[in-house]
A and B are shown apart, each in its own frame.
Chain A
Amino acid sequence: MENHYFVDSDKLSEAALKKKHMLETDPSSRTNHMEYMEGMERIKSDIMYKVMTEMKNYDYSQYTARDVNAALNHETCTVEDFKALLSPAAEPFLERMAQKAKLETQKHFGNTVYLFTPLYIANYCENYCVYCGFNCYNDIKRMKLNMEQIEHEMKVIADSGMEEILILTGESRAQSSVEYIGEACKLARKYFRMVGIEVYPLNTDEYKYLHECGVDYVTVFQETYDSDRYEQLHLMGHKRVWPYRFEAQERALMGGMRGIACSALLGLSDFRKDALASALHVYFLQRKYPQAEISLSCPRLRPIINNDEINPLDVHEKQLCQILCAYRIFLPFCGITVSSRESESFRNGIVKIAATKVSAGVSTGIGDHESKYTGKESEAAEGDEQFEINDSRSFDKMYKDMSSEGLQPVLNDYLYV
């Protein structure tokens, strides 16, 4: 089964359509995705090589129930054990994996669950990533908030009680410059205790600048660790450069950031290989930067505006749960975030097993927090959403629900020092 990603808008000019179709059908019209573009920093690191070697050699079909059993009985989970836990042979062991994962989560995090919310400040994008609602050929309402609007959004969110915010933009340096992001982060520091960003990959000195603006956490999703598949999905723009993206977290840590998050977008490629690579990416980063706070996300593909058929293919809730349990057993100390792409019932269940952080009061649109939080008609324009969310619980509702699940919601675990 495949997703049908290509959608033509009737608003595109003939020339634009021609270019779009050429990118989609003629690989030779596309740039070399392994080649750094001008201005992209190269760092010395062997992490990419290590992750890719493990991923390439991973044949999950060779693992048996015996391997899985052994992995579950081991006190510490080796890379080999982790591979067994991710394999199809582990599927019948899901309940046992969940039991073990729960113990590990409790040891390291007790009965706590962290809450945060994302804030999209712009949805302009220069890339053609075929599965993304923000892609430059998709006909959506584009918008970029000015500082006054950003501050207004932040006030609305802060009033709800939230202490941690994740600031996102579409990937456009031209529309959302580093300085623009930096100014937004300085504002965020006024209203929130923890500020993270999920923006296009940057150079070390730019991460350093944003750290000085108050940012401490950097999330970059690799989308897929299979570079050949990546090439077929990211047809144009800076985002097309796969290795520069891979090294973003390491540059962020070199720039003084406190923590990083990695992830693949499950459903784009072979999910078992992508899950292996995601976890090994943070595993090797933590070995090289032991002070870094690391976390993993596990987003699955969701429908977007103008294409409601996009779905996570063979990554069903069961498989997602297996991946998350395996992550937890392999990396007991790692933060695991489960976003509003997942349903209320899944999130209620998984926080008791493996996840340590959930978003609440989520909008993936631009400038619409007031209307979404208060129901008040917005007078200003709003920008369209990146994808459809699945769990629309407000901050208050999430706080109450987590409490009634027996968990202590934590709003803040950080001091900017």
Chain B
Amino acid sequence: MKEDKLIIGGHEFSSRFILGSGKYSLSLIEAAVKYAGAEIITLAVRRTNSKEHENILDYIPKGVTLLPNTSGARNADEAVRIARLARELGCGDFVKIEIMRDTKYLLPDNQETVRATEILAKEGFVVMPYMYPDLNTARDLVNAGAASVMPLASPIGSNKGLATKDFIQILIDEIDLPIIVDAGIGRPSQACEAMEMGAAAVMSNTALATAGDLPVMAEAFKQAIEAGRKAYLSGLGRVLTRGAAPSDTLTGFLHD
């Protein structure tokens, strides 16, 4: 099997597990990265401190790609401003767009997300938009210059798994960009399932933060994601989920 790389905006990654960082102790970040084998870690720009105090940026191990997110943005303009600020802070060109105008479920605003993607892609950002899995929006995001599409599996923090499974599958089937499943993945088995479906990567935060032993859970996710990826590459496909292949052909009577 040829080397299997995740390519986002021209950047190559071996790991397909993107780590969140906002819900657990800063001191655990290093171990989480190590056990997860993660190469990308998200960071809420709004969490960075302005003063000389424990700063999240100091806890990110070297060599890991920072994926600053725009959480807190309520519309495209705010997201754009936060992304630019992240770049000024030295967080690089990657940006995960999160735009919510609902504080209860934190569901992303697809329309504003497309708008922000367009602006930031033009400014040279590697734009990774968090979105509600809708095919039309995903196509708009492709046209707007997104580097990947990040549909939610279920409401953020809910640990409910692939509640939007069928719609994520449509994105995987129809969109040529990496589909990274984000939000709602609560267990390694769910991450594995997403990967079996053909997701390019999985992102998780709450599932780790709420685990009894964070590094062990990080490793469990890593293994599940690798297993799911291998299953996908092995040609598991979706056909099998619809029943086994029949032993007698139905079209054997055709002779011409």
Contact = CB atoms under 8 A, between A and B. Distances in A.
A161 B55 CA distance: 11
Interface string A282-322: 00001000111110000000000000000000000000000
Contacts of A410: 47
Interface in B71-111: 72-74, 77-78, 81-82, 85, 100-106
Majority secondary structure, B binding face: loop
B23 A415 contact: no
B49 A290 contact: no
Contact of A411 (B53, B74, B209): B53
Contact of B49 (A112, A292, A412): A412
Majority secondary structure, A binding face: loop
Nearest to A293: B103
A290 B210 contact: no
B103 A193 contact: no
A107 B103 contact: no
B89 to A, nearest CB: 11
A292 to B, nearest CB: 6
A408 B101 contact: no
Nearest to A415: B46
Nearest to B24: A111
A180 interface: no
A290 B46 contact: no
Q: How large is the interface on B (under 10, 10 to 19, 20 to 34, 35 or more residues)?
A: 35 or more
Contacts of A407: 25
A291 B72 contact: no
B22 interface: yes
Contact of A413 (B46, B50, B100, B106): B46
Nearest to A259: B103
A408 B24 contact: yes
A391 interface: no
A182 to B, nearest CB: 22
Interface in A45-104: none
Interface of B: 22-26, 44-54, 72-74, 77-78, 81-82, 85, 100-106, 157-159, 205-206, 209-210
Interface of A: 106-112, 158, 161-163, 193, 286, 290-294, 333, 403, 406-415, 417
15 contacts: A107-B158, A107-B159, A110-B209, A111-B209, A161-B51, A161-B53, A163-B51, A193-B50, A286-B103, A294-B103, A412-B48, A412-B49, A415-B46, A417-B72, A417-B82
Given A107-B210, A162-B51, 7 more contacts: A106-B210, A163-B49, A291-B102, A408-B24, A411-B53, A414-B46, A417-B73
